[in-house]
Amino acid sequence: MRLKATPEDFVVEEKIDLNLQPSGPWAVYQIEKRGLTTLEVQRQLARLLKVSRQQVIFPALKDRQALAIQYVTVPASKAKRTLSRPGFRAQHIGYRTHPLSPRDLLGNSFTLVIRALTPEEAAYLRQRLPLLERIGLPNYFDEQRMGSYAPGWGFIGKAILQRDAQEALRAYLARPFVGDPPDIRAFKKRASSLWPDWQAMLQIAPKPSNLRSVLTYLVDHPQGYRKALNLIPQRLLAIYLAAYQSYLWNRLIGYYLHRFYVEHNVPQAFLPIANEQLPFHLSLTSELVHQLAQERIPLPHHRAIYTGQLKEIVPQVLAEEGLSLHEFKARILQRAYLPRGTRPLLVFPKDVALEPAAPDPLHPEHLALRVRFSLPPGSYATLVLKAATLKERDT
């Protein structure tokens, strides 16, 4: 099986309450992008419109390896009818009284082409995907959320929560993350051998980049780790915190679900996400589906309250990380915070539709399958496909 062989094989369109007006202080653009992250598009739009990145407001982030249709607000005084650069096109579609926010999101619709399938694999997917619409799947955060994970070391978000500004800064400047683009990865590999020669690191830092701003400050303030850490863009710091929080949320519900599955004799398989083996159910009775679907699990936060079995599981998982729930507040940051809230334990793909399998022109002697479905905000189409391919032998 192969996904994302081309950008057109993974199409995601934001479903959002735009509430467009004939005029207003905020202009709304529809963005079509491919081969770029949302943050890269944000930087380019800010440059084209001559505004700060903070004034280019996306309610959600989308993957680089996809054809994505999403929406953004910018100050109306700077709006132009269309904007385009290699990798994206922006079309002005109206105005709003307030900028878009995550509260406006309704979900995402996906059109995916799954390639390099055997006839048996295609048949299994055609059977499993409609089943997931009925029984759901654990609402794990998928790999895309873990872009700031440094293999062999861990998460920069953890160092921030531990108030270790020096180690967090070292991760930002000299530890390659799984989600780093090639130029940043190459810089970090060289920078790791130069640490802490700030001047030498500055000379090889990519232009333009925030890395240079941080290093310029460190040249003049060699021990100013906390201040330098706070020079990293607020949106990036928030992403780093959310990535580690998401990783731990996955672990918490993984423990919880494994207990539940064993107690109720539920067939399960295990999926690796960010160095964890996380359980999936292969089938559930309607009664158990209803029971799990009612549950919303708090994200780790210093004000989160856990009950039932999670009251025992959460301290256990956090102790393995060398943390307590009290420490889930980014006390060394000035402008970035951990998200607070709950997340549904299960997610249910909706409007699942599958076309007949057809010969795959990119992989002779194999089949391609086009599928469509929608998900609520914050859930992952890639996870749906992984769940649809798992079998008991994957335990």
pTM of the model: 0.92
**Boundary residue ending a domain (332, 347, 362):** 347
Asked, for residue 353, whether it belongs to a domain, the answer is no
Give pLDDT tens digits for 339-352. Answer: 999 999 999 999 99
Same domain assignment for residues 287 and 212: yes
Give pLDDT tens digits for 158-167. Answer: 999 999 999 9
Asked, for residue 124, whether it belongs to a domain, the answer is no
Looking at the 3D structure of the chain, how many domains does it have?
Answer: 2
Same domain assignment for residues 66 and 182: no
Residue 392: the pLDDT is 66
Residue 222: the pLDDT is 96
Give the DSSP letter string of 271-304: EEETTEEEEEES---HHHHHHHHT-EEEPS-TT-
Residue 42, domain CATH: 3.30.70.3160
Asked, for residue 130, whether it belongs to a domain, the answer is no
Same domain assignment for residues 179 and 239: yes
Same domain assignment for residues 189 and 256: yes
Whether the predicted pLDDT of 181 surpasses 90: no
**Boundary residue ending a domain (78, 99, 120):** 99
Same domain assignment for residues 217 and 76: no
Asked, for residue 372, whether it belongs to a domain, the answer is no
Distance, in Å, from the CA atom of 379 to the CA atom of 362, rounded to the nearest integer, reads 29
Q: Which two tokens stand for residue 84?
A: 């385009």
Asked, for residue 205, whether it belongs to a domain, the answer is yes
Give pLDDT tens digits for 246-265. Answer: 999 999 999 999 999 999 99
**Boundary residue ending a domain (347, 364, 380):** 347
Same domain assignment for residues 169 and 59: no
- Catalytic residue status for 63: yes
Distance, in Å, from the CA atom of 66 to the CA atom of 327, rounded to the nearest integer, reads 36
Give pLDDT tens digits for 263-278. Answer: 999 999 998 888 889 9
Signed CA dihedral, 62, 354, 7, 363: sign only: positive
| Closest of 47, 71, 48 to residue 58, by C-alpha | 71
Asked, for residue 228, whether it belongs to a domain, the answer is yes
Whether the predicted pLDDT of 306 surpasses 70: yes
Average pLDDT over every residue of 283-292: 96
| Mean residue pLDDT across the chain | 95
Distance, in Å, from the CA atom of 126 to the CA atom of 222, rounded to the nearest integer, reads 59
Give pLDDT tens digits for 48-64. Answer: 999 998 999 999 988 88
Same domain assignment for residues 36 and 154: no
Confirm if 72 and 99 have CB atoms less than 8 A apart: no
Residue 395: the pLDDT is 47
Asked, for residue 129, whether it belongs to a domain, the answer is no
Asked, for residue 368, whether it belongs to a domain, the answer is no
Catalytic residue among 9, 63, 104, 360: 63
Same domain assignment for residues 203 and 284: yes
Same domain assignment for residues 217 and 296: yes
Q: Percent of the chain scored above 90 by pLDDT?
A: 89
Could you tell me which residues come within 8 angstroms of residue 103 by beta carbon, excluding any fewer than 6 positions away?
A: none
Same domain assignment for residues 39 and 146: no
Same domain assignment for residues 63 and 161: no
- Structural domain containing residue 216: 137-347
Same domain assignment for residues 154 and 302: yes
